[in-house]
Amino acid sequence: MLRYIIWRIAMMVPTLLIISALVFTIIELPPGDYFESYAAELKAQGEDVDTAYLDTLRKEYNFDKPPVIRYFYWLGGMLQGDFGYSFEYQLPVTEVVGDRMWLTVLVSFVTIVFTWLLAFPIGIYSATHQYSWGDYGLTFLGLLGIAIPNFMLALILMYFANIWFGVSIGHLMDLKYLGQPMSWDKAKSILDHLWIPVIIVGTAGTAGMIRRLRANLLDELQKQYVVTARAKGLSPFRTLVKYPLRMSLNFFISDIGSILPAIISGAEITAIVLSLETTGPMLIKALQSQDMYLAGSFLMFLAFLTVIGVLISDLALALLDPRIRLQGGSTK
């Protein structure tokens, strides 16, 4: 078990390294660097360009070195909590970001919990009442949930919130708390606003999860050990709870790996539409202005979030599944 945990955590390292290399390549791809476009912009506005200042900046951020070296500087910086410099804001990335990262984590986490709370009972109902009207109805709803992309759902909700309540939804908190330090009222305001993005982001994930859970549970219900349990005289309900459901729980936890990237993707795009105070809007702005270090740190952060999420789900699975716990990972 311990060996499995160590091995699993060790496996994260190469994954993160590859991701960082990929992200760095992406942020290096645009021709020229920020300073060039900055200088060009200034020139266009007829202002003087302080080449010396730009050169010092260049030196400071190692832009005079080849990309490979810069990659290692960047990587080393991130390991020490230094995510580089946002040229757009002329501030270190960490300061620009503020609590946006934590709010992203919050939205994603609450969404996952929401997804679970919804998907588990519905999935069970659908599987145990296969081909009933309830099953058909829920399946159809689920399909709609998959078919309507997050940003459209956000648009639709915005539309209805407007014509029904005359309010515009959006933002994660009352605007007066923006930039304020965390307080009780601010937290409450955040919770008040949280449910809309959670519903929007959670729909697609929930729908997909219901579908997969239903299929998985239907599979498990056919298994021989369920017959064994029936032959023991166990009541149908307790049979369901003790065996197939217990099995599906494992599947459920391991499924995080597949929904987490989707949820984070969805959270980003929803955040842009609803202008939430998470990483989304800032990421897109950074991308548009080619503030690549800022964008790079966001990408790295989001990838890190999924990798950690999957790690947690794998470890939880190892705790729950004796086959992994006792045999060290050779499942299936």
Interactions with other proteins, residue window 117-136 (CB under 8 A) = none
Cα–Cα distance for residue pair 282/298, rounded to 1 Å: 9
Residue 127 CB neighbours (<10 A): 23
Write down the residue that tokens 């729909």 correspond to: 203
Candidates 206, 297, 306, 313: give the one binding other proteins (CB under 8 A). 306
Confirm or reject binding of residue 303 to other proteins (CB under 8 A): yes
Residue 234 φ then ψ, to 5°: -70, 140
Confirm or reject binding of residue 195 to other proteins (CB under 8 A): no
DSSP string for residues in 258-270: HHHHHHHHHHHHH
Candidates 213, 272, 276, 317: give the one binding other proteins (CB under 8 A). 272
In the stretch 159-188, what mask flags binding to other proteins with x, by CB under 8 A?
x--xx----x-x------------------
Confirm or reject binding of residue 27 to other proteins (CB under 8 A): yes
Structure tokens at 99: 């609590």
Radius of gyration of the chain (CA): 24
Confirm or reject binding of residue 2 to other proteins (CB under 8 A): no
Rank residues 3 and 80 by Cβ distance to other proteins and give the closer one: 3
Spell out a b/e string for 228-246, using b for 16 or more CB atoms within 10 Å of the CB, else e: ebeeeebeeeebbeebbbe
Rank residues 102 and 225 by Cβ distance to other proteins and give the closer one: 225
Write down the residue that tokens 């166990």 correspond to: 234
Candidates 122, 256, 264, 317: give the one binding other proteins (CB under 8 A). 264
The nearest distance, CB 52 to other proteins, in angstroms, is 29
Cα–Cα distance for residue pair 271/154, rounded to 1 Å: 9
The nearest distance, CB 191 to other proteins, in angstroms, is 22
Rank residues 92 and 170 by Cβ distance to other proteins and give the closer one: 170
Structure tokens at 88: 């757009």
Confirm or reject binding of residue 92 to other proteins (CB under 8 A): no
Confirm or reject binding of residue 215 to other proteins (CB under 8 A): no
Confirm or reject binding of residue 327 to other proteins (CB under 8 A): yes
Rank residues 30 and 76 by Cβ distance to other proteins and give the closer one: 30
Candidates 4, 38, 125, 251: give the one binding other proteins (CB under 8 A). 4
The nearest distance, CB 89 to other proteins, in angstroms, is 17
DSSP class of residue 86?
E
Confirm or reject binding of residue 37 to other proteins (CB under 8 A): no
- Name the one range near other proteins by CB under 8 A: 88-96, 114-122, 185-193, 324-332: 324-332
Which residues, in sequence order, are bridge partners of residue 85? 92
Confirm or reject binding of residue 241 to other proteins (CB under 8 A): no
The nearest distance, CB 192 to other proteins, in angstroms, is 18
What are the distances in angstroms from CA 84 to CA 57, 306, 320?
A: 12, 22, 40
3-class secondary structure, 90 = coil
Structure tokens at 147: 């078919």
